[in-house]
Chains A and B, each alone.
Chain A
Amino acid sequence: MSGDPVTGTAATGWQALRASVRGAAHRRTGLPNQDAVRIARRAVANGADDDDTPALVLALADGHGSAKCFRSQQGARLAVAVALQTAGSLPLAAPPSQRKRWAEEQWPVTLVRGWQAAVTRRLERQPLTAAELAALDEHGRQQVEIQPTLAYGSTLLSVIVAPAFILYLQLGDGDLLTVSADGTVARPLPPDARLIGNETTSLCAPRAADDIRVYCQTLAGAPPALILAATDGYANAFRDDAGFRQVAHDLWTMLRDEGEAAVSPHLHGWLDEASRQGSGDDISVGILWRAPPDGPPAC
Protein backbone atom coordinates (compact mmCIF):
# COMPACT_ATOMS: atom_id res chain seq x y z
CA MET A 1 0.00 0.00 0.00
CA SER A 2 1.33 3.46 -0.78
CA GLY A 3 1.29 6.80 0.99
CA ASP A 4 -1.69 8.95 0.15
CA PRO A 5 -0.89 11.99 -1.98
CA VAL A 6 -3.06 14.98 -1.17
CA THR A 7 -4.39 16.51 -4.34
CA GLY A 8 -5.26 20.09 -5.11
CA THR A 9 -2.49 21.69 -3.11
CA ALA A 10 -0.54 23.20 -5.95
CA ALA A 11 -2.03 26.65 -5.36
CA THR A 12 0.39 27.27 -2.53
CA GLY A 13 3.30 25.57 -4.26
CA TRP A 14 3.36 22.77 -1.74
CA GLN A 15 2.86 19.05 -2.20
CA ALA A 16 1.61 16.72 0.50
CA LEU A 17 1.69 13.06 1.51
CA ARG A 18 0.30 11.25 4.48
CA ALA A 19 0.30 7.69 5.77
CA SER A 20 -0.71 5.82 8.90
CA VAL A 21 0.00 2.24 9.97
CA ARG A 22 -1.34 0.11 12.79
CA GLY A 23 1.39 -0.67 15.31
CA ALA A 24 2.99 -4.09 15.50
CA ALA A 25 2.14 -4.29 19.20
CA HIS A 26 -1.46 -3.29 18.44
CA ARG A 27 -1.71 -6.12 15.91
CA ARG A 28 -0.45 -8.61 18.50
CA THR A 29 -2.97 -7.46 21.09
CA GLY A 30 -5.91 -6.83 18.78
CA LEU A 31 -5.99 -3.06 19.26
CA PRO A 32 -6.90 -0.80 16.34
CA ASN A 33 -4.80 2.00 14.89
CA GLN A 34 -5.56 4.88 17.25
CA ASP A 35 -3.81 7.56 15.17
CA ALA A 36 -5.44 9.90 12.68
CA VAL A 37 -3.92 12.15 10.03
CA ARG A 38 -5.45 14.47 7.44
CA ILE A 39 -4.13 17.15 5.13
CA ALA A 40 -6.41 19.53 3.27
CA ARG A 41 -6.67 22.90 1.62
CA ARG A 42 -8.79 25.27 3.60
CA ALA A 43 -10.20 28.63 2.65
CA VAL A 44 -9.37 30.99 5.47
CA ALA A 45 -10.82 34.30 6.64
CA ASN A 46 -9.18 37.00 4.54
CA GLY A 47 -11.01 40.10 5.70
CA ALA A 48 -11.15 42.80 3.09
CA ASP A 49 -8.38 41.27 1.08
CA ASP A 50 -9.45 39.72 -2.19
CA ASP A 51 -6.70 37.15 -2.13
CA ASP A 52 -8.47 33.82 -1.81
CA THR A 53 -5.33 31.71 -1.76
CA PRO A 54 -6.13 28.88 0.60
CA ALA A 55 -3.94 27.62 3.36
CA LEU A 56 -2.66 24.08 3.49
CA VAL A 57 -3.57 22.45 6.78
CA LEU A 58 -2.02 19.32 8.25
CA ALA A 59 -3.49 17.70 11.37
CA LEU A 60 -2.26 14.58 13.09
CA ALA A 61 -3.41 13.01 16.35
CA ASP A 62 -2.48 10.05 18.54
CA GLY A 63 -5.25 8.58 20.69
CA HIS A 64 -3.86 7.58 24.08
CA GLY A 65 -5.11 4.00 24.02
CA SER A 66 -5.02 3.53 27.79
CA ALA A 67 -7.81 1.66 29.54
CA LYS A 68 -9.57 4.89 30.52
CA CYS A 69 -9.21 6.32 27.02
CA PHE A 70 -11.15 3.48 25.43
CA ARG A 71 -12.59 5.71 22.67
CA SER A 72 -9.33 7.45 21.84
CA GLN A 73 -9.42 6.21 18.25
CA GLN A 74 -12.53 8.34 17.81
CA GLY A 75 -10.95 11.13 19.85
CA ALA A 76 -8.01 11.31 17.45
CA ARG A 77 -10.29 11.43 14.42
CA LEU A 78 -12.35 14.19 15.97
CA ALA A 79 -9.17 16.09 16.81
CA VAL A 80 -7.95 16.21 13.22
CA ALA A 81 -11.42 17.08 11.94
CA VAL A 82 -11.68 19.99 14.37
CA ALA A 83 -8.15 21.14 13.50
CA LEU A 84 -9.04 21.37 9.81
CA GLN A 85 -12.26 23.15 10.66
CA THR A 86 -10.78 25.73 13.02
CA ALA A 87 -8.07 26.65 10.54
CA GLY A 88 -10.86 28.32 8.58
CA SER A 89 -10.97 31.14 11.11
CA LEU A 90 -7.31 32.01 10.63
CA PRO A 91 -7.15 35.75 9.78
CA LEU A 92 -4.99 35.29 6.71
CA ALA A 93 -4.83 38.92 5.69
CA ALA A 94 -4.50 40.37 9.17
CA PRO A 95 -1.30 42.14 10.24
CA PRO A 96 1.37 39.77 11.56
CA SER A 97 0.86 40.85 15.18
CA GLN A 98 -2.86 40.15 15.01
CA ARG A 99 -2.24 36.83 13.30
CA LYS A 100 0.28 35.87 15.98
CA ARG A 101 -2.19 36.77 18.70
CA TRP A 102 -4.84 34.64 17.02
CA ALA A 103 -2.42 31.71 16.78
CA GLU A 104 -1.15 31.93 20.33
CA GLU A 105 -4.34 32.89 22.13
CA GLN A 106 -7.47 32.07 20.12
CA TRP A 107 -6.40 29.04 18.14
CA PRO A 108 -5.62 26.80 21.18
CA VAL A 109 -8.86 27.76 22.92
CA THR A 110 -10.90 27.30 19.74
CA LEU A 111 -9.34 23.89 19.12
CA VAL A 112 -9.92 22.58 22.62
CA ARG A 113 -13.47 23.89 22.82
CA GLY A 114 -14.20 22.52 19.36
CA TRP A 115 -12.86 19.11 20.29
CA GLN A 116 -14.79 19.07 23.57
CA ALA A 117 -17.98 20.06 21.76
CA ALA A 118 -17.45 17.37 19.13
CA VAL A 119 -16.85 14.76 21.83
CA THR A 120 -19.94 15.89 23.73
CA ARG A 121 -22.08 15.55 20.60
CA ARG A 122 -20.62 12.10 20.02
CA LEU A 123 -21.42 11.12 23.60
CA GLU A 124 -25.01 12.28 23.18
CA ARG A 125 -25.37 9.96 20.20
CA GLN A 126 -23.32 7.15 21.71
CA PRO A 127 -23.40 7.29 25.51
CA LEU A 128 -20.78 5.32 27.40
CA THR A 129 -21.95 1.76 27.86
CA ALA A 130 -22.03 -0.35 30.99
CA ALA A 131 -19.67 -2.80 29.29
CA GLU A 132 -17.11 -0.07 28.59
CA LEU A 133 -17.21 1.15 32.19
CA ALA A 134 -17.19 -2.37 33.61
CA ALA A 135 -13.78 -2.93 32.06
CA LEU A 136 -12.26 -0.23 34.31
CA ASP A 137 -11.18 -0.44 37.92
CA GLU A 138 -13.18 1.52 40.47
CA HIS A 139 -10.97 4.59 40.37
CA GLY A 140 -10.89 4.68 36.58
CA ARG A 141 -14.64 4.24 36.37
CA GLN A 142 -15.20 7.18 38.70
CA GLN A 143 -12.82 9.34 36.70
CA VAL A 144 -14.55 8.60 33.39
CA GLU A 145 -18.03 9.03 34.84
CA ILE A 146 -17.08 12.46 36.18
CA GLN A 147 -15.28 13.46 32.97
CA PRO A 148 -16.48 11.36 30.00
CA THR A 149 -14.22 13.25 27.54
CA LEU A 150 -11.35 11.34 29.16
CA ALA A 151 -12.47 8.29 27.16
CA TYR A 152 -11.52 10.15 23.96
CA GLY A 153 -8.07 11.42 25.07
CA SER A 154 -5.74 12.33 22.24
CA THR A 155 -2.75 14.45 21.30
CA LEU A 156 -2.83 16.92 18.40
CA LEU A 157 -0.21 18.32 16.04
CA SER A 158 -1.16 20.82 13.35
CA VAL A 159 0.61 22.89 10.73
CA ILE A 160 -0.96 25.68 8.67
CA VAL A 161 1.02 26.77 5.63
CA ALA A 162 0.02 30.12 4.14
CA PRO A 163 1.90 32.16 1.52
CA ALA A 164 3.51 34.53 4.02
CA PHE A 165 3.78 32.43 7.15
CA ILE A 166 3.59 28.97 8.70
CA LEU A 167 1.95 28.10 12.01
CA TYR A 168 3.00 25.05 14.03
CA LEU A 169 0.93 23.72 16.93
CA GLN A 170 1.60 20.85 19.31
CA LEU A 171 -0.28 19.34 22.21
CA GLY A 172 1.29 16.19 23.61
CA ASP A 173 3.90 13.84 22.24
CA GLY A 174 4.87 13.51 18.60
CA ASP A 175 7.35 15.39 16.45
CA LEU A 176 7.49 18.32 14.06
CA LEU A 177 10.62 18.66 11.94
CA THR A 178 11.56 21.06 9.17
CA VAL A 179 14.22 20.74 6.51
CA SER A 180 15.68 23.83 4.88
CA ALA A 181 16.69 23.93 1.24
CA ASP A 182 20.31 23.34 2.28
CA GLY A 183 19.30 20.17 4.15
CA THR A 184 19.39 21.49 7.71
CA VAL A 185 16.92 19.70 9.98
CA ALA A 186 15.31 21.70 12.80
CA ARG A 187 12.48 21.52 15.32
CA PRO A 188 10.16 24.52 15.14
CA LEU A 189 9.05 23.77 18.71
CA PRO A 190 11.51 22.64 21.41
CA PRO A 191 10.94 19.29 23.14
CA ASP A 192 8.54 19.41 26.08
CA ALA A 193 10.42 18.20 29.18
CA ARG A 194 7.17 17.06 30.79
CA LEU A 195 6.68 14.34 28.21
CA ILE A 196 8.80 11.45 29.40
CA GLY A 197 7.93 7.79 29.33
CA ASN A 198 4.32 7.30 28.39
CA GLU A 199 2.94 10.55 29.82
CA THR A 200 1.61 13.21 27.51
CA THR A 201 -0.35 16.43 27.59
CA SER A 202 -3.77 15.89 26.12
CA LEU A 203 -6.93 17.38 24.67
CA CYS A 204 -8.86 15.74 27.52
CA ALA A 205 -6.91 17.56 30.25
CA PRO A 206 -8.74 20.35 32.08
CA ARG A 207 -6.12 22.97 31.08
CA ALA A 208 -5.41 21.59 27.62
CA ALA A 209 -5.42 25.01 25.93
CA ASP A 210 -2.65 26.17 28.28
CA ASP A 211 -0.57 23.12 27.40
CA ILE A 212 -0.72 23.83 23.67
CA ARG A 213 2.49 25.20 22.21
CA VAL A 214 2.48 27.33 19.07
CA TYR A 215 5.19 28.74 16.84
CA CYS A 216 4.51 31.40 14.19
CA GLN A 217 7.09 31.47 11.44
CA THR A 218 6.98 34.56 9.25
CA LEU A 219 8.45 33.80 5.87
CA ALA A 220 10.89 36.64 5.34
CA GLY A 221 13.14 34.46 3.19
CA ALA A 222 12.77 31.00 1.79
CA PRO A 223 10.25 28.78 3.60
CA PRO A 224 11.28 25.30 4.72
CA ALA A 225 11.74 22.84 1.90
CA LEU A 226 9.96 20.09 3.85
CA ILE A 227 7.86 19.78 6.98
CA LEU A 228 7.42 16.39 8.68
CA ALA A 229 4.82 15.74 11.38
CA ALA A 230 4.81 12.34 13.05
CA THR A 231 3.23 10.55 15.99
CA ASP A 232 5.69 9.47 18.67
CA GLY A 233 5.78 5.88 17.48
CA TYR A 234 8.06 7.00 14.64
CA ALA A 235 10.78 8.75 16.69
CA ASN A 236 10.64 5.96 19.28
CA ALA A 237 11.46 3.44 16.55
CA PHE A 238 14.99 4.81 16.12
CA ARG A 239 17.99 4.12 18.30
CA ASP A 240 18.59 7.84 18.78
CA ASP A 241 17.27 11.25 17.85
CA ALA A 242 19.85 11.65 15.08
CA GLY A 243 18.45 8.56 13.38
CA PHE A 244 14.96 10.02 13.46
CA ARG A 245 16.04 13.45 12.24
CA GLN A 246 17.73 11.66 9.39
CA VAL A 247 14.26 10.60 8.23
CA ALA A 248 13.30 14.17 7.41
CA HIS A 249 16.58 14.80 5.61
CA ASP A 250 16.35 11.59 3.60
CA LEU A 251 12.73 12.21 2.62
CA TRP A 252 13.64 15.67 1.38
CA THR A 253 16.55 14.32 -0.65
CA MET A 254 14.35 11.66 -2.26
CA LEU A 255 11.53 14.08 -3.02
CA ARG A 256 13.89 16.73 -4.35
CA ASP A 257 15.90 14.38 -6.56
CA GLU A 258 13.32 11.83 -7.68
CA GLY A 259 9.93 13.31 -6.90
CA GLU A 260 6.93 11.89 -5.15
CA ALA A 261 7.27 8.51 -6.87
CA ALA A 262 10.38 7.83 -4.79
CA VAL A 263 8.42 8.05 -1.57
CA SER A 264 4.70 7.55 -2.04
CA PRO A 265 4.70 3.85 -3.04
CA HIS A 266 7.00 2.92 -0.15
CA LEU A 267 5.78 5.08 2.71
CA HIS A 268 3.43 2.58 4.34
CA GLY A 269 6.05 -0.16 4.10
CA TRP A 270 8.68 2.04 5.72
CA LEU A 271 6.39 2.96 8.59
CA ASP A 272 5.36 -0.65 9.06
CA GLU A 273 9.00 -1.73 9.20
CA ALA A 274 9.75 1.00 11.75
CA SER A 275 6.90 -0.20 13.95
CA ARG A 276 7.83 -3.89 13.66
CA GLN A 277 11.55 -3.44 14.25
CA GLY A 278 11.26 -0.44 16.53
CA SER A 279 8.60 0.99 18.77
CA GLY A 280 5.70 -1.39 18.03
CA ASP A 281 3.42 1.65 18.20
CA ASP A 282 1.02 3.06 15.61
CA ILE A 283 2.91 5.42 13.31
CA SER A 284 1.41 8.26 11.30
CA VAL A 285 3.10 10.95 9.26
CA GLY A 286 2.14 14.02 7.31
CA ILE A 287 4.71 15.39 4.87
CA LEU A 288 4.56 18.81 3.22
CA TRP A 289 7.23 19.82 0.74
CA ARG A 290 7.95 22.27 -2.02
CA ALA A 291 9.17 20.81 -5.24
CA PRO A 292 12.20 22.77 -6.48
CA PRO A 293 11.52 24.78 -9.67
CA ASP A 294 13.94 22.68 -11.68
CA GLY A 295 13.20 19.42 -9.88
CA PRO A 296 11.33 16.40 -11.18
CA PRO A 297 7.61 16.97 -11.74
CA ALA A 298 5.20 15.76 -9.08
CA CYS A 299 3.05 12.78 -9.98
Chain B
Amino acid sequence: MAKRPGGELATRPLHFIWIADCSGSMSVDGKIQSLNTAIREALPHMRAVADENPNAEVLVRALAFASGAQWQVSQPTAVADFKWTDLQTNGLTDMGLGLRMVAEQLRMPPMTDRALPPVLVLISDGQPTDDFTGGLAALMQEPWGKKAVRIAIAIGEDADTEVLQRFIGHTELKPLQANNPETLVRHIKWVSTAVLKSASAPASQAVGLAAGLNVPIPAPPAAATGPQAPDDVW
Protein backbone atom coordinates (compact mmCIF):
# COMPACT_ATOMS: atom_id res chain seq x y z
CA MET B 1 0.00 0.00 0.00
CA ALA B 2 1.18 3.54 -0.68
CA LYS B 3 2.52 5.57 2.21
CA ARG B 4 -0.28 6.52 4.56
CA PRO B 5 -0.85 10.29 4.82
CA GLY B 6 -0.46 11.98 8.19
CA GLY B 7 1.68 11.61 11.29
CA GLU B 8 1.95 8.94 13.96
CA LEU B 9 -1.19 7.02 14.84
CA ALA B 10 -2.03 6.49 18.50
CA THR B 11 -4.82 5.05 20.59
CA ARG B 12 -6.70 7.47 22.85
CA PRO B 13 -5.42 7.90 26.41
CA LEU B 14 -7.78 7.10 29.27
CA HIS B 15 -6.47 8.42 32.58
CA PHE B 16 -7.63 6.46 35.63
CA ILE B 17 -6.73 8.01 38.99
CA TRP B 18 -7.17 6.47 42.44
CA ILE B 19 -7.56 9.21 45.09
CA ALA B 20 -7.26 7.49 48.45
CA ASP B 21 -7.83 8.69 51.99
CA CYS B 22 -4.85 7.71 54.15
CA SER B 23 -5.81 9.60 57.29
CA GLY B 24 -5.23 8.05 60.70
CA SER B 25 -8.76 6.68 60.94
CA MET B 26 -8.07 4.46 57.91
CA SER B 27 -5.76 2.42 60.14
CA VAL B 28 -8.68 1.42 62.36
CA ASP B 29 -10.22 -2.04 61.90
CA GLY B 30 -8.01 -2.86 58.96
CA LYS B 31 -9.54 -0.40 56.48
CA ILE B 32 -6.28 0.53 54.77
CA GLN B 33 -5.21 -3.11 54.51
CA SER B 34 -8.57 -3.96 52.97
CA LEU B 35 -8.24 -1.12 50.48
CA ASN B 36 -4.71 -2.16 49.52
CA THR B 37 -5.88 -5.74 49.03
CA ALA B 38 -8.99 -4.77 47.08
CA ILE B 39 -7.10 -2.60 44.58
CA ARG B 40 -4.29 -5.11 44.18
CA GLU B 41 -6.79 -7.90 43.50
CA ALA B 42 -8.71 -5.73 41.04
CA LEU B 43 -5.69 -4.99 38.84
CA PRO B 44 -5.82 -8.25 36.80
CA HIS B 45 -9.51 -7.57 36.07
CA MET B 46 -8.63 -4.02 35.07
CA ARG B 47 -5.97 -5.28 32.68
CA ALA B 48 -8.43 -7.75 31.16
CA VAL B 49 -10.94 -4.97 30.45
CA ALA B 50 -8.20 -2.79 28.97
CA ASP B 51 -7.14 -5.65 26.70
CA GLU B 52 -10.67 -5.88 25.32
CA ASN B 53 -10.43 -2.37 23.89
CA PRO B 54 -7.09 -1.87 22.13
CA ASN B 55 -8.18 1.61 20.99
CA ALA B 56 -8.01 2.98 24.54
CA GLU B 57 -4.68 3.32 26.32
CA VAL B 58 -5.50 2.96 30.01
CA LEU B 59 -3.05 4.96 32.12
CA VAL B 60 -3.23 4.63 35.90
CA ARG B 61 -2.05 6.87 38.73
CA ALA B 62 -2.61 6.95 42.49
CA LEU B 63 -2.71 9.85 44.92
CA ALA B 64 -2.90 9.59 48.72
CA PHE B 65 -4.15 12.36 50.98
CA ALA B 66 -3.78 12.58 54.76
CA SER B 67 -1.83 15.43 56.43
CA GLY B 68 -0.93 16.79 53.03
CA ALA B 69 -1.19 14.82 49.83
CA GLN B 70 1.25 13.09 47.55
CA TRP B 71 1.32 11.03 44.40
CA GLN B 72 2.01 7.37 45.07
CA VAL B 73 2.31 6.82 41.34
CA SER B 74 2.83 10.20 39.74
CA GLN B 75 3.40 9.23 36.12
CA PRO B 76 0.53 7.97 33.96
CA THR B 77 1.41 4.28 33.88
CA ALA B 78 0.11 1.73 31.40
CA VAL B 79 -2.24 -0.59 33.28
CA ALA B 80 -0.13 -3.57 32.22
CA ASP B 81 2.84 -2.07 34.08
CA PHE B 82 0.98 -0.57 37.02
CA LYS B 83 1.97 -1.96 40.40
CA TRP B 84 0.17 -1.14 43.61
CA THR B 85 2.31 -0.04 46.54
CA ASP B 86 0.59 -0.41 49.89
CA LEU B 87 -0.66 2.88 51.28
CA GLN B 88 0.31 3.94 54.81
CA THR B 89 -1.80 6.07 57.13
CA ASN B 90 -1.03 9.26 59.03
CA GLY B 91 -2.77 12.34 60.37
CA LEU B 92 -5.64 14.34 58.90
CA THR B 93 -7.86 14.30 55.81
CA ASP B 94 -6.59 16.90 53.34
CA MET B 95 -9.01 15.88 50.62
CA GLY B 96 -9.18 19.40 49.18
CA LEU B 97 -5.43 19.45 48.58
CA GLY B 98 -5.70 16.05 46.94
CA LEU B 99 -8.31 17.34 44.49
CA ARG B 100 -6.18 20.39 43.71
CA MET B 101 -3.25 18.14 42.86
CA VAL B 102 -5.45 16.06 40.57
CA ALA B 103 -6.77 19.26 38.95
CA GLU B 104 -3.20 20.30 38.10
CA GLN B 105 -2.69 17.04 36.25
CA LEU B 106 -5.91 17.42 34.29
CA ARG B 107 -4.92 20.76 32.79
CA MET B 108 -4.39 21.04 29.04
CA PRO B 109 -1.45 20.59 28.67
CA PRO B 110 -0.34 18.07 29.92
CA MET B 111 -3.74 16.59 28.94
CA THR B 112 -4.78 16.76 25.30
CA ASP B 113 -8.24 17.28 23.90
CA ARG B 114 -8.17 13.88 22.18
CA ALA B 115 -8.18 12.00 25.49
CA LEU B 116 -11.12 9.93 26.64
CA PRO B 117 -12.96 11.24 29.72
CA PRO B 118 -10.75 10.47 32.74
CA VAL B 119 -11.98 8.27 35.59
CA LEU B 120 -11.45 9.65 39.11
CA VAL B 121 -12.13 7.34 42.04
CA LEU B 122 -12.27 9.04 45.45
CA ILE B 123 -12.16 6.72 48.48
CA SER B 124 -12.64 8.09 51.99
CA ASP B 125 -13.73 7.08 55.48
CA GLY B 126 -14.12 10.53 57.00
CA GLN B 127 -14.60 14.24 56.62
CA PRO B 128 -12.23 16.66 54.94
CA THR B 129 -10.12 18.67 57.36
CA ASP B 130 -8.98 21.25 54.81
CA ASP B 131 -10.62 23.40 52.12
CA PHE B 132 -12.61 20.74 50.28
CA THR B 133 -14.80 23.31 48.54
CA GLY B 134 -11.78 25.10 47.10
CA GLY B 135 -10.23 21.84 45.99
CA LEU B 136 -13.41 20.73 44.28
CA ALA B 137 -13.76 24.12 42.60
CA ALA B 138 -10.21 23.84 41.27
CA LEU B 139 -11.02 20.41 39.87
CA MET B 140 -14.26 21.53 38.27
CA GLN B 141 -12.57 24.55 36.75
CA GLU B 142 -10.59 22.25 34.49
CA PRO B 143 -12.51 21.05 31.44
CA TRP B 144 -11.32 17.50 32.00
CA GLY B 145 -12.20 17.71 35.70
CA LYS B 146 -15.74 18.65 34.76
CA LYS B 147 -16.00 15.92 32.12
CA ALA B 148 -14.34 13.23 34.22
CA VAL B 149 -16.25 10.19 35.38
CA ARG B 150 -16.20 10.81 39.13
CA ILE B 151 -16.88 7.84 41.40
CA ALA B 152 -16.79 7.90 45.20
CA ILE B 153 -16.54 5.07 47.71
CA ALA B 154 -17.48 5.72 51.34
CA ILE B 155 -15.73 3.40 53.77
CA GLY B 156 -17.68 2.98 56.99
CA GLU B 157 -20.50 4.86 58.65
CA ASP B 158 -18.37 7.90 59.46
CA ALA B 159 -17.62 8.78 55.85
CA ASP B 160 -19.04 12.14 54.79
CA THR B 161 -21.34 11.03 52.00
CA GLU B 162 -22.53 14.58 51.40
CA VAL B 163 -19.01 15.64 50.50
CA LEU B 164 -18.57 12.56 48.30
CA GLN B 165 -21.87 13.34 46.56
CA ARG B 166 -20.63 16.86 45.82
CA PHE B 167 -17.51 15.33 44.30
CA ILE B 168 -19.63 13.09 42.05
CA GLY B 169 -21.73 16.08 41.00
CA HIS B 170 -24.64 14.08 39.58
CA THR B 171 -27.71 13.16 41.57
CA GLU B 172 -28.30 9.94 39.66
CA LEU B 173 -25.01 8.48 40.87
CA LYS B 174 -24.56 7.98 44.62
CA PRO B 175 -21.45 7.26 46.69
CA LEU B 176 -20.89 3.53 47.05
CA GLN B 177 -21.07 2.49 50.69
CA ALA B 178 -18.60 -0.14 51.90
CA ASN B 179 -18.98 -1.20 55.51
CA ASN B 180 -16.97 -4.39 55.30
CA PRO B 181 -14.00 -5.73 53.31
CA GLU B 182 -16.15 -7.88 50.98
CA THR B 183 -18.25 -4.94 49.89
CA LEU B 184 -15.17 -2.82 49.37
CA VAL B 185 -13.69 -5.51 47.12
CA ARG B 186 -16.94 -5.62 45.14
CA HIS B 187 -17.03 -1.85 44.67
CA ILE B 188 -13.37 -1.60 43.70
CA LYS B 189 -13.81 -4.39 41.18
CA TRP B 190 -16.88 -2.68 39.70
CA VAL B 191 -15.00 0.58 39.25
CA SER B 192 -12.02 -1.24 37.75
CA THR B 193 -14.10 -3.17 35.25
CA ALA B 194 -17.62 -1.91 34.49
CA VAL B 195 -16.83 1.78 34.83
CA LEU B 196 -13.51 1.43 33.01
CA LYS B 197 -15.22 -0.41 30.15
CA SER B 198 -17.86 2.31 29.75
CA ALA B 199 -15.30 5.09 29.87
CA SER B 200 -13.01 3.45 27.34
CA ALA B 201 -15.56 3.47 24.51
CA PRO B 202 -18.06 6.26 25.17
CA ALA B 203 -20.53 7.13 22.42
CA SER B 204 -21.01 10.79 21.57
CA GLN B 205 -23.53 12.68 23.67
CA ALA B 206 -25.34 15.81 22.60
CA VAL B 207 -24.30 18.81 24.68
CA GLY B 208 -27.11 19.90 26.97
CA LEU B 209 -29.14 16.76 26.40
CA ALA B 210 -27.10 14.32 28.45
CA ALA B 211 -28.79 15.76 31.57
CA GLY B 212 -26.13 14.47 33.88
CA LEU B 213 -23.54 11.83 33.14
CA ASN B 214 -21.64 12.32 29.90
CA VAL B 215 -20.48 8.70 30.09
CA PRO B 216 -23.25 6.20 30.77
CA ILE B 217 -22.36 4.25 33.91
CA PRO B 218 -23.76 0.75 34.40
CA ALA B 219 -25.67 -0.05 37.57
CA PRO B 220 -23.33 -0.43 40.54
CA PRO B 221 -23.28 -3.64 42.58
CA ALA B 222 -26.35 -4.16 44.74
CA ALA B 223 -26.27 -2.35 48.05
CA ALA B 224 -26.35 -4.19 51.35
CA THR B 225 -29.81 -5.25 52.40
CA GLY B 226 -30.05 -2.75 55.25
CA PRO B 227 -28.27 0.17 56.83
CA GLN B 228 -26.40 -2.22 59.07
CA ALA B 229 -25.69 -5.65 57.63
CA PRO B 230 -24.62 -8.43 60.03
CA ASP B 231 -21.12 -8.61 58.63
CA ASP B 232 -20.47 -4.87 58.76
CA VAL B 233 -17.36 -3.97 60.70
CA TRP B 234 -16.82 -0.32 59.78
Contacts from A to B (Cβ < 8 Å):
24-25, 28-29, 62, 64-69, 139, 143, 150, 153, 155, 172-173, 191, 193-202, 204-207, 211, 235-240, 242-244, 246-247, 249-251, 254, 262, 266, 269-270, 273-275, 277-281
From A143, A194, A195, give the contact of B209 (CB < 8 A): A143
Find out whether the CB atom of A238 lies under 8 angstroms from the CB atom of B7. yes
Asked whether B181 is an interface residue with its Cβ less than 8 Å from the other chain, the reply is: no
Which residue of A65, A196, A238, A262 contacts B2 across the interface (Cβ within 8 Å)?
A: A262
Q: Which of B2, B172, B205 contacts A200 (CB 8 A)?
A: B205
A28 to B201, CA, bound (A): 11
What chain B residues lie within 8 Å of A195 (beta carbons)? Answer: 207
Q: Which residues of A contact B54 (CB under 8 A)?
A: 24, 280
Known A66-B216, A67-B216; judge A250-B206 contact (CB<8 A): no
B206/A205 in contact, CB under 8 A: yes
- Supposing A238-B8, A266-B2 touch, asked if A200 and B114 sit within 8 A by C-beta, the answer is no
Contacting residues of chain B (34-58) with chain A, CB-CB under 8 angstroms: 52-56
A62 to B4, CA, bound (A): 23
A191 to B108, CA, bound (A): 15
Determine whether B222 belongs to the interface, using a CB cutoff of 8 Å to chain A: no
Chain B positions 137 through 155: 1 when the CB is less than 8 Å from some CB of chain A, otherwise 0:
0000001100100000000
Question: Are B209 and A280 closer than 8 Å at their CB atoms?
Answer: no
- Interface flag for B229 (CB, 8 Å): no
- Of B9-17, B59-67, B122-130, B187-195, the one contacting chain A is B9-17
Q: How many residues of chain B have a CB within 8 Å of chain A?
A: 42
Q: Which of B1, B2, B172 lies in contact with A139, CB distance below 8 A?
A: B172
B142 → chain A closest CB, angstroms: 10
- State whether A199 touches B147 (Cβ < 8 A): yes
Which residues of A lie under 8 Å from residue B9 when comparing CB positions? 237-239, 243, 273-274, 277-278
Instruction: Tell whether, in the assembled complex, residue A200 and residue B207 are in contact, meaning their CB atoms are under 8 Å apart.
Output: yes
The one of A28, A201, A270 in contact with B5, judged by C-beta atoms closer than 8 angstroms, is A270
B230: chain A residues within 8 A (beta carbon)? none
- List of A residues within 8 angstroms of B212 by Cβ: 139
Report the Cα distance A281→B202, complex, angstroms. Answer: 10
B residues touching A (Cβ–Cβ < 8 Å)? 1-12, 52-56, 112-117, 143-144, 147, 172, 201-212, 214-216
Distance between Cα atoms of A48 and B76 in the complex (Å) = 64
**Are A243 and B11 touching (Cβ within 8 A)?**
no
Residues B201 and A280 in contact, CB atoms below 8 Å apart:
yes
Known: A67-B203, A196-B143, A198-B204. A244 touches B172 (CB 8 A): no
Nearest-Cβ distance from residue B210 to partner chain A, whole angstroms: 7
B55 touches A64 (CB 8 A): no
Inter-chain CA distance A251–B2, complex, in Å, is 12
Q: CA of A197 to CA of B147 in the docked complex: distance in angstroms?
A: 7
Contact A270 B208 (CB under 8 A): no
Q: List 7 A-B contacts (CB under 8 A).
A: A64-B203, A153-B204, A199-B210, A205-B206, A207-B208, A250-B6, A277-B11
Decide: A66 and B12 in contact? CB cutoff 8 A: no
Chain B residues, Cβ within 8 Å of A194: 207
A166 to chain B, nearest CB (A): 22
| Interchain CB contact under 8 A, A205 and B6 | no
In the bound complex, what is the Cα–Cα distance between A107 and B9 (angstroms)? 36
- The residue that A64 contacts in the complex, of B53, B144, B201, B205, with Cβ under 8 A, is B205
Nearest B residue (CB) for A62: B204
Other A-B contacts than A191-B113, A270-B1, A280-B56, 17 sampled, CB-CB below 8 A, are A28-B53, A29-B201, A69-B206, A139-B172, A150-B209, A153-B209, A198-B205, A199-B210, A201-B207, A205-B207, A205-B208, A239-B7, A247-B7, A250-B6, A274-B6, A279-B12, A280-B12
Assess whether A197 is in contact with B53, with CB atoms less than 8 Å apart. Answer: no
User: In the complex, which residues of chain B have a beta carbon less than 8 angstroms from the beta carbon of A198?
Assistant: 116-117, 202-205, 214-215
Bound Cα distance from A65 to B115, whole angstroms: 19
